[in-house]
Amino acid sequence: MDLASEIARTLLPLVIVGGIAVFVIKRLEHKYKKGSLGKKKSKGAQNLLDSLIPLGMLSGCVVGILLSIFSPISLLSAIPLGAGIGFLFGYFTYEIYSKKE
């Protein structure tokens, strides 16, 4: 019983982050095929738009590290989980910012 819970606790972040990554990549692929990816007029705004997803991942890693420092969550599972959730939030921010004029 202890071995099964340890395996589940180890693989659960991988499954969650994998599901988030597949969701975001499929959505971006669908938008690319449709031709509706976000475009901005100025180069600076376009660079910011293109950087939102990686910035979300970086901020998610930082939150994961801080969470693992102040809670009993393992660092090995907090960093990928934080990056995956940051990836999702970066995608949502990308969607919101790409619709603004």
The full DSSP string for 24-38 is HHHHHHHHHHHT---
Q: pLDDT tens-digit profile of 4-36?
A: 888 888 888 889 999 999 999 999 999 999 988
Q: Averaged over 72-95, what is the pLDDT?
A: 90
Structural domain boundaries enclosing 42: 2-99
- Could you report the per-residue pLDDT of 45-71, keeping only the tens digit for each? 888 888 999 999 999 999 999 999 999
Q: How many domains does the chain have?
A: 1
- 66 near 79, Cβ under 8 Å? no
